[in-house]
């Protein structure tokens, strides 16, 4: 694995160079928000001067709305016009380590041995993830170290860039990452750089103030599906879905058909387990009739079912759901409270 040092002022020009040959997605300031989006021709990405994007970059591989196929109604029946699996050679530049880790978690679901999602896989395979480590921890709500990640974690990344103060350390973690080597002009990293990286890591980890017993609650969840605790957390939830839409690991979707005269298209749209209609059946029966069952599902899915299925927690500790829930429901407190259940 090659490691290189590049000058601090060289980083800002790199996305522009990459854009000559790839579609680039990066953090961009849009009004008062920093959002992760495809760079328009004249758009400048924020490099190194942002905390984290409001939206999670999962939308590059799993878009909010995606056309799956088009068809036409004819006198002889419905005919398929085409399957849409658009995937460009793309570079995601300036992803934070928690969000890069979410890609590894989503791979477990969308790219299983038995079940493969061709739409997700097509985009994922053609993309290279360039991650900017959190040398300074962005928020007090970050808890990546409680969910097997860290501010300098390279999981899910092809290239990892760390600010060492005087230079950036660039680590090419995968063959895909190595293919971007020519865009990062620099000198081979010394042992000194390694030591500095370790210091940055220790310091950044020390800045994390939120710690939750995320792994410890699995055996408690295993035997407490009917615990009265579930009656206590959901009451102020508005069922707005903000937590699931901003979450880098949430991946529920719905498939629907739209017709205009004889032309039809099949779409996949994000959905949310927080919505009453998510589980409502055609008969009118709803197996998750209130917000209580929906919140239990969200918690169970992240801290029990994903662990059962893939031995991984489906939360990367980004803190978005904590920061943006309009009624301040805090998943850190929920996990903490569950750890104390008798």
Least distance from C-beta 317 to ligand SF4, angstroms?
Answer: 5
For 244-274, b where at least 16 C-beta lie within 10 A, e where not — what string? bbbbbbbbbbeeeeeeeeeebbbebebbbbb
Query: Can you tell me whether residue 199 is helix, strand or coil?
Result: helix
What is the spatial distance between Cα 260 and Cα 280, in angstroms, rounded to a whole number? 27
Least distance from C-beta 238 to ligand SF4, angstroms?
Answer: 4
| Residue number, 10 or 323, with CB nearest to ligand SF4 | 323
Least distance from C-beta 39 to ligand SF4, angstroms?
Answer: 25
Residue 264 pairs in a beta bridge with 71, 259
Least distance from C-beta 295 to ligand SF4, angstroms?
Answer: 7
| Residue number, 190 or 339, with CB nearest to ligand SF4 | 339
Angle, vertex CA 242, rays to CA 237 and CA 244, nearest 5 = 100
Least distance from C-beta 313 to ligand SF4, angstroms?
Answer: 9
Phi, psi torsion values for 312, nearest 5 degrees:
-145, 145
| Residue number, 169 or 246, with CB nearest to ligand SF4 | 246
Least distance from C-beta 322 to ligand SF4, angstroms?
Answer: 6
| Residue number, 79 or 309, with CB nearest to ligand SF4 | 309
Q: Is 143 within 8 Å of 210 (Cβ atoms)?
A: yes
Least distance from C-beta 275 to ligand SF4, angstroms?
Answer: 8
Question: What are the residue ranges of helices labelled H in the chain?
Answer: 14-19, 97-110, 118-125, 175-178, 191-207, 218-222, 242-246, 291-300, 306-310, 320-324, 331-339
What is the spatial distance between Cα 205 and Cα 155, in angstroms, rounded to a whole number? 16
| Residue number, 204 or 322, with CB nearest to ligand SF4 | 322
| Residue number, 24 or 242, with CB nearest to ligand SF4 | 242
For 32-64, b where at least 16 C-beta lie within 10 A, e where not — what string? eebebbebeeeeebbbeebebbbbbbbbbbbbe
* Eight-class DSSP state of 305: I
Least distance from C-beta 156 to ligand SF4, angstroms?
Answer: 13
Please give the residue ranges that form the binding site for ligand SF4 (CB under 6 A): 237-243, 246-249, 274, 302, 315-321, 325-327, 329, 331
| DSSP for 234-281, written as a single string | STT-----HHHHH-SS---EEEEEEEETTEEEEEEEE--TTSGGGG--
| Residue number, 24 or 220, with CB nearest to ligand SF4 | 220
| Residue number, 92 or 246, with CB nearest to ligand SF4 | 246
């Amino acid at each position: 694995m090659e490691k290189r040092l590049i000058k601090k002022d060289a980083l800002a020009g790199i996305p522009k160079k990459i854009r000559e040959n790839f579609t680039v997605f990066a953090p961009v300031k849009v009004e008062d928000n920093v959002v992760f989006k495809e760079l328009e021709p004249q758009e400048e990405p924020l490099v190194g001067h942002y905390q984290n994007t409001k939206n999670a970059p999962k939308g590059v591989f799993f878009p909010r709305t995606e056309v799956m196929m088009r068809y036409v109604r004819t006198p002889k029946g419905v005919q398929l016009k085409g399957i849409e699996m658009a995937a460009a050679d793309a570079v995601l530049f300036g992803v934070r380590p928690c969000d890069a880790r979410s890609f590894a978690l989503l791979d477990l679901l969308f790219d299983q041995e038995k079940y493969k999602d061709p739409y997700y896989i097509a985009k994922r395979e053609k993309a290279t993830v360039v991650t900017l480590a959190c040398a300074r921890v962005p928020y007090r709500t970050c808890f990546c170290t409680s969910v097997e990640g860290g501010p300098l974690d390279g999981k899910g990344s092809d290239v990892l860039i760390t600010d060492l103060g005087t230079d950036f350390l660039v680590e090419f973690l995968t063959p895909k990452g190595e293919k971007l080597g020519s865009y990062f002009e620099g000198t081979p990293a010394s042992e000194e750089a390694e030591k500095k990286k370790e210091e940055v890591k220790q310091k950044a980890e020390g800045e994390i103030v939120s710690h939750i017993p995320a792994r410890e609650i699995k055996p408690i969840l295993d035997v407490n599906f009917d615990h009265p605790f579930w009656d206590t957390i959901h009451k102020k939830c508005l069922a707005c879905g903000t937590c699931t839409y901003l979450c880098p690991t949430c991946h529920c979707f719905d498939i629907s058909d739209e017709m205009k005269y004889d032309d039809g298209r099949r779409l996949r749209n994000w959905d949310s387990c927080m919505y009453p209609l998510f589980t409502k059946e055609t008969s009118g029966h709803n197996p998750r009739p209130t917000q209580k069952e929906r919140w239990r599902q969200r918690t169970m899915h992240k801290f029990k079912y994903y662990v059962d299925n893939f031995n991984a927690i489906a939360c990367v500790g980004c803190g978005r759901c904590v920061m943006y829930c309009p009624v301040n429901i805090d998943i850190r407190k929920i996990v903490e409270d569950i750890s104390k259940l008798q």
